[in-house]
Amino acid sequence: MRVDVVSIFPEYLAPLGLSLIGKARAAGVLDLAVHDLRGWTHDVHRTVDDTPYGGGPGMVMRPEPWGEALDALAPAADNAPRTGSPADEPPATSWADEPPTRLLVPGPAGVRFTQAMAHELATERHLIFACGRYEGIDQRVLEHAATRMPVTEVSLGDYVLFGGEVAVLVILEAVTRLLPGVLGNAGSLNEESHAHGLLEAPVYTKPPTWRGHDVPQILRSGDHGGIARWRREQGLLRTAARRPDMLAALPPEELDRRDVAALREAGFLVPPEDVAK
Ligand code: 6GU
């Protein structure tokens, strides 16, 4: 996967050279470049912002540098629509047979970033992240880009950051670990929180007793069926307690009789219509 990140604080993205993301880059799974937006300015002050039309506090990112950045990183041929007419056949070097470049714009007004979106992004050929600062990027940049490629404004959650850079670190970490060959053990993807709409059970390692706290006996029993059942119930109870929204979104057929019994026993209300027949 190719990824371009554009920011006025490229140093903010230095962690992308570390740890497993750095390893994915070294292994060639992730071809990532970070660009300084100011490289696409032409005045001596390398200006990227101006006052907002209509008034109000703060500054808005001017469209011109962003337009040039996106022209450079997503050349028009990249996303050329295919007409089927021989006269319009794309040049041999065109990417028209491949999925297009996709533009992601992090910001608190975006759609919520989820594990499902991470899976979707992990299938893309080329992502561009446009990191806004100040009050945001002139909306015409996004409008114009949308005539050439899919554009998604994306938010991490219901709070406000200074800019998109930290969000890019988060999103790229969630996406990179889903790329083929990055995680040694593919099973760890299948068993983690959010893989099946539930939170995962707590985990333990040695020693069996630590500061007077014991590892739950079932995990040391060797009873694989019992362990799977215990983990399922712990995941259900955690989800009910911490993320009732996730439990409510679970299709009723995902809960069997034992699930419902465990939830009711712990004091969580499960409406009769949510119980599988
Ligand atoms: Cl993606 N960007 C900014 N600036 N603030 C946020 C956010 C993103 N997600 C939540 N808050």
Q: What average pLDDT score do residues 76-84 get?
A: 55
Q: Which amino acid is at 121?
A: L
Question: Given the CA of residue 106, which atom of ligand 1 is nearest to it?
Answer: 1
Q: Give the mutation target among 134, 155, 170 for probing the ligand 1 site: most ligand atoms within 8 A of CB.
A: 155
Angle subtended by helix axes 165-176 and 19-26, to nearest 10? 60
Q: Mean pLDDT in the chain? A: 90
Ligand 1: centre distance to CA 53 (Å)? 22
Ligand 1: centre distance to CA 43 (Å)? 29
pLDDT-based confidence at residue 10 (cuts at 50, 70, 90): very high
Residue 93 confidence (pLDDT): 45
Q: Give the mutation target among 152, 153, 156, 173 for probing the ligand 1 site: most ligand atoms within 8 A of CB.
A: 156
The share of the chain scoring above pLDDT 90, in percent, equals 75
In the predicted structure, residue 200 carries a pLDDT above the cut 70: yes
Ligand 1: centre distance to CA 17 (Å)? 22
pLDDT-based confidence at residue 190 (cuts at 50, 70, 90): confident
In the predicted structure, residue 187 carries a pLDDT above the cut 90: no
Ligand 1: centre distance to CA 190 (Å)? 28
Q: Give the mutation target among 160, 162, 168, 169 for probing the ligand 1 site: most ligand atoms within 8 A of CB.
A: 160
Q: What average pLDDT score do residues 22-48 get?
A: 94
pLDDT-based confidence at residue 276 (cuts at 50, 70, 90): low
98 vs 83, residue with greater confidence: 98
Q: What average pLDDT score do residues 65-79 get?
A: 86
Residue 130 confidence (pLDDT): 98
Q: What average pLDDT score do residues 59-67 get?
A: 98
Residue 1 confidence (pLDDT): 95
Residue 240 confidence (pLDDT): 97
Lowest mean pLDDT segment, chosen from 61-70, 76-85, 168-177: 76-85
Ligand 1: centre distance to CA 156 (Å)? 6
Contact by Cβ (8 Å): 238, 199? yes
123-173 pLDDT, tens digit each: 999 999 999 988 999 999 999 999 999 999 999 999 999 999 999 999 999
211 vs 20, residue with greater confidence: 211
Ligand 1: centre distance to CA 152 (Å)? 13
3-state SS of the chain is CEEEEEECCHHHHHHHHCHHHHHHHHCCCCEEEEEEHHHHCCCCCCCCEECCCCCCCCCEECHHHHHHHHHHHCCHHHHCCCCCCHHHCCCCCCCCCCCCEEEEEEEEEEEECCHHHHHHHCCCCEEEEECCCCCCECHHHHHHHCCCCCEEEEECCCCCCCCCHHHHHHHHHHHHCCCCCCCCCCHHHHCCCCCCCCCCCCCCCCCCEECCEECCHHHHCCCHHHHHHHHHHHHHHHHHHHCHHHHHHCCHHHCCHHHHHHHHHCCCCCCHHHCCC
Ligand 1: centre distance to CA 104 (Å)? 12
Question: Given the CA of residue 162, which atom of ligand 1 is nearest to it?
Answer: 4
Question: Given the CA of residue 161, which atom of ligand 1 is nearest to it?
Answer: 5
Q: What average pLDDT score do residues 75-98 get?
A: 53
The pocket around ligand 1, CB under 6 angstroms, is made up of: 106-108, 154-157, 159-161, 163-164, 167
Contact by Cβ (8 Å): 48, 6? no
Contact by Cβ (8 Å): 131, 82? no
Upstream peptide bond of 202 is cis (omega within 30 degrees of 0)? no
Residue 91 confidence (pLDDT): 47
84 vs 163, residue with greater confidence: 163
Nearest CA to ligand 1 atom 6: 108
